[in-house]
Structure 1
Amino acid sequence: MSGSATDADDHPATANDPGTGEADREAIVRSIGPKLYRLRQQGGLSLQQLARRADVSSAAIHKLEKGDMIPTVTTLLKLAAALDRPIGYFVDGDGDPVPVAHLVRGADRPPLPSLPGTTRAGLTGPPDRFALQGAVVEIAPGAALEVRARLAEDLLLVLAGTVEVTIAGEWYALDHDDSLHVPGGHRVHCHNPGPAVAVLTWVSTGDSGS
C-alpha cells in the first residue's frame, strides 16, 4: 500500500483493533478494494458518480479499488453510506468473499471512457486482479478510434460491420468474424467506412484505454 486517504485526523480503519493480528489486518485492508469495486459495479456507478454520492474524490476511489491507498474511517463511512452498506462490510473478516472468477453480465457491462463517435463497455475483471483487459467497442459510421503505442498486445474481433485498421503503415479491412492480432509497441488506428455501426471485441494484455 503506497498511501492513505487525505483525512489527516483519522487513523486507518483497522489500525486500532486490538483483537486483530498484523496478518489479519493486512488481509482485511487488501480485501477493501475488491469489495468496493464489486459494489460500485453492482450499483452501475461510474467512479465520478460514486465520488459525487460519497463526497470522496474519484481519484481516491480509484486508488482504493486498486489497493494503492489505505482508507481512513471517515472515507469508509462515506463510501459505506453511499453504497448502502455498514462499515463492517468492508472491515469484517467474514464479509462477502471475493470470487475466484469475475462475471460480467451482458446487460451490466461497465461503460469505459470513449472518444467521440465511439462507445466502450468492459468485458473483463479489474486490472488489479487480471492482466488481460477487454471491451466491446462500437464505432459510428465515419468515426475513428486511435490507440496510442504501448507494450500491450491487442486482439480485435469484428462482431458486426466493417473496420479499417492502420498499423505501422499497413492497412487491413476487417469484416464480420475477422480478427487481427497486433504486437505491442504499435499505434492502432481504426476507422468505420460503412453505413452502419461497427462492433468489435478488443482485448489487450494490459491497459485497454485509448
Structure 2
Amino acid sequence: MTRALLASRNAKKLRELRRIVAAEGIARLEIVGLDEVPAFPEAPETGATFEENALAKARDAARETGMPAIADDSGIAVDALNGMPGVLSARWSGKHGDDDANLDLLLGQLGDVPDERRGAAFVCAAALVIPGVDEIVVRGEWRGTLIRERRGTGGFGYDPIFVPAGSAITSAEMSAEEKDAESHRGRALRQLVPHLQRL
C-alpha cells in the first residue's frame, strides 16, 4: 500500500479526495492528512496565485515527510470585484477561516451589484509533488452566480451563496457526490488521478 499525504487539516477536503480516489478505483493508495503524520513547520501562504500556494505547500510536505504530497489552494473569484477575494478568500474579513464573517463581508460588498453582474467562479489549484521525481500543478474552475441570501448547510466557505451555472440550487444544497462531480476541487483533483495511479 502506497501512502500519499494531503497537506491539509481540513477533514472535508480529506474525505473528498478519498472519495475521488475510491471512485477511480485506486485501491493500493492510502490518502492521509497532516494530523496523521508527525508535525512539521508549515510555511504561510504568501503566493500571489493559487498555483504558487498549492505548489509551496506540497513541496514543504514532501520535503518534510518524504511522501508524495498533494496540496491545494482554492477560493472564489468574483467578477464584479476584479477576481477578488481570490487567494485571500479564507481570510477576506481579516481572520482566517471565519466563514460567516467572510460571507457577510462579501454580501455587503455586492449589495448594490445587480443580479446579472454577480458572476463568479470557484477556483482550485492542486499540486502533486513526488519527491525526486516530479511536480504537477493543475487548475479547476466552477462558474456560477452569487445570490443575496444564504441557502443550504452543506459544504463550507462561500458554498451557501454560490449557484453553479445550469443549477437552481447552491453548492451548499448539493449532496457530497453531486458536489464532487462538479466542483472546482473535484475538477482539479481528478486531473491528478493519472499521476496518482502511477504511484
Classify the TM-score, shorter chain.
under 0.3
**Larger Cα-atom Rg:** 1
Alignment TM-score, normalising by the size of structure 1:
0.26
